[in-house]
Homo-oligomer: A and B are copies of this chain.
Amino acid sequence: MYKEKITRGSRPLILVTNDDGINARGIKTLAEFLMPLGDVVVVAPDGARSGQSAAITVKEPLRMAMVENREGYKALKTTGTPVDCVKLALNVLFADRPDLVVSGINHGSNSGVSVMYSGTMGAVFEGVVNGIPSIGFSLCSFDADADFSICSEVVETLCSRALKNGMPEGMGLNVNIPSTKHLAGMKVCRAARGRWTAEYDSRIDPMGRPYYWLTGYFDNAEPDAPDTDEYVMAHNYASVVPVTPDRSLSEIDPRVVEWMAL
A35 lies within 8 A of chain B by Cβ? no
Across the A-B interface, give the 3 residue pairs with the lowest CB-CB distance, nearest first.
A1-B202, A53-B53, A53-B54
A198–B54 CA distance with the chains assembled, in angstroms: 18
A58 lies within 8 A of chain B by Cβ? yes
Chain B residues positioned under 8 Å from A67 (CB to CB): none
Inter-chain contact A55/B256, CB cutoff 8 Å: no
Inter-chain contact A248/B55, CB cutoff 8 Å: no
Chain B residues positioned under 8 Å from A144 (CB to CB): none
A63–B203 CA distance with the chains assembled, in angstroms: 10
A208 lies within 8 A of chain B by Cβ? no
A83 lies within 8 A of chain B by Cβ? yes
A234 lies within 8 A of chain B by Cβ? no
Which residue of B is nearest A247, CB measured?
B243
- Indicate whether A56 sits within 8 Å of B53 (C-beta atoms), given known contacts A256-B242, A259-B167: yes
Task: Indicate which residue in B48, B62, B129 contacts A214 across the interface (CB closer than 8 Å).
Answer: B62
A244 lies within 8 A of chain B by Cβ? yes
1/0 per position for A89-128, CB-CB distance to B under 8 A?
0111000000000000000000001011101011001000
A130–B245 CA distance with the chains assembled, in angstroms: 20
A256–B189 CA distance with the chains assembled, in angstroms: 10
Inter-chain contact B61/A213, CB cutoff 8 Å: yes
| A70-102 CB contacts (< 8 Å) to partner B | 83-84, 87-88, 90-92
Which residue of B is nearest A162, CB measured?
B259
A51 lies within 8 A of chain B by Cβ? yes
Chain B residues positioned under 8 Å from A248 (CB to CB): 190-191, 241-243
Inter-chain contact B247/A250, CB cutoff 8 Å: no
Task: Indicate which residue in B58, B202, B255 contacts A171 across the interface (CB closer than 8 Å).
Answer: B255
1/0 per position for A201-213, CB-CB distance to B under 8 A?
0110000011111
Please list 18 pairs of residues, one from A and one from B, whose beta carbons are closer than 8 Å in the complex, sorted by A's number: A51-B57, A52-B55, A54-B117, A55-B55, A55-B119, A56-B214, A58-B214, A63-B212, A87-B200, A115-B247, A116-B129, A164-B262, A168-B259, A190-B248, A191-B248, A193-B246, A242-B248, A243-B249
A216–B84 CA distance with the chains assembled, in angstroms: 13
A28 lies within 8 A of chain B by Cβ? no
| A224-262 CB contacts (< 8 Å) to partner B | 227, 240-253, 255-257, 259-260, 262
